[in-house]
Amino acid sequence: YLGELEEISEKTLRRLEDCLLSATTNDPDALVRRCALEALGFSSRPEVPTLISQAYADPDPDWVASALFAMGRSYDERWEADVRRQLRSPNAAIQMEAVKAAGELGLESCRRILLDLLEEEGTDVEIRAEVIWSLSNIGGEEVRGALNDRLEKTDDENESDLIEEALENLDLSEQISSMDLFDIDLEEEAHSAHVIDLSPQEDTDAESPEQSGGVDDPQAPAKGKPRHRHKKS
């Protein structure tokens, strides 16, 4: 995670990833192999998606749960169908990790299923808690209404506290979403600035982009993007 945020050196990140990749196949302890895969969920290394897919296809439910755990960390929507498919898994550990992954990935296609799980009486208490938090990460008007309804109905003090925290997290998620839209608008504006107007100009004394410090100005600052984006709860 720190490597993807570029808070440790590329050299250190490479060494860590190499050790974890080795552990996923060579360590004799299955738990260590699974934990190594989960840690690699954050990684952008090209080998990782294949490892996650292999774990997901394993008949051992523990490996499927670890694969879903890694999917949630990946910020990669290629796993959307796999995550959604397991939201109704009869295996509690797999269902739990699918619910978490849906929230971490912000999968709007999972919202309806999670809202149903929130209301169903048969939903496990721990899974419902994860459903509440995942919904707060996904967001949407239906989510706010459902959480408020649940807050009014529940007699569980712990659940009430969790829902109040989730509503605060929902506010944060919506703020982040609006910031992302603002970034897209800025990127589109910057892109359109590169379009040159070839129509005849009456004002021949107008400044050129080089003279005015426009988009072609070699001194103009360059925009950079992080290699990965991860929401912090």
DSSP code per residue over 152-208: HH---HHHHHHHHHHHHHHHHHHHHHHHHHHHHHHHHHHHHTT----S--S-TTPPP
State the pLDDT at residue 176. Answer: 80
Enter the tokens of residue 75: 């910020």
Enter the tokens of residue 130: 């994860």
Buried b (16+ CB within 10 A) or exposed e, 133-171: bbbbbbbbeebbebbeebbeeeeeeebeebbeebbebbe
- Whether residue 106 contacts residue 233, with contact meaning beta carbons closer than 8 Å, is answered with no
State the pLDDT at residue 8. Answer: 95
Query: In angstroms, rounded to a whole number, what is the distance separating the alpha carbons of residues 141 and 145?
Result: 6
Q: Alpha-carbon dihedral of residues 149, 153, 159, 161, nearest 10 degrees?
A: 70
Query: In angstroms, rounded to a whole number, what is the distance separating the alpha carbons of residues 58 and 55?
Result: 5
Taken in order 109, 115, 116, 122, is the CA torsion positive or negative? positive
**Per-residue pLDDT tens over the stretch 45-102:** 999 999 999 999 999 999 999 999 999 999 999 999 999 999 999 999 999 999 999 9
Query: Per residue of the chain (233 residues), what is the pLDDT tens digit?
Result: 999 899 999 999 999 999 999 999 999 999 999 999 999 999 999 999 999 999 999 999 999 999 999 999 999 999 999 999 999 999 999 999 999 999 999 999 999 999 999 999 999 999 999 999 999 999 988 999 999 999 999 999 999 999 999 999 999 888 887 775 555 555 555 555 544 444 555 544 444 444 444 444 433 333 333 333 344 33
Give the three-state DSSP class for 140.
coil
List of residues 6+ apart from 214 with CB closer than 8 A: 193, 208, 220
State the pLDDT at residue 180. Answer: 59
State the pLDDT at residue 25. Answer: 93
Query: In angstroms, rounded to a whole number, what is the distance separating the alpha carbons of residues 21 and 55?
Result: 13
State the pLDDT at residue 113. Answer: 98
- Whether residue 186 contacts residue 194, with contact meaning beta carbons closer than 8 Å, is answered with no
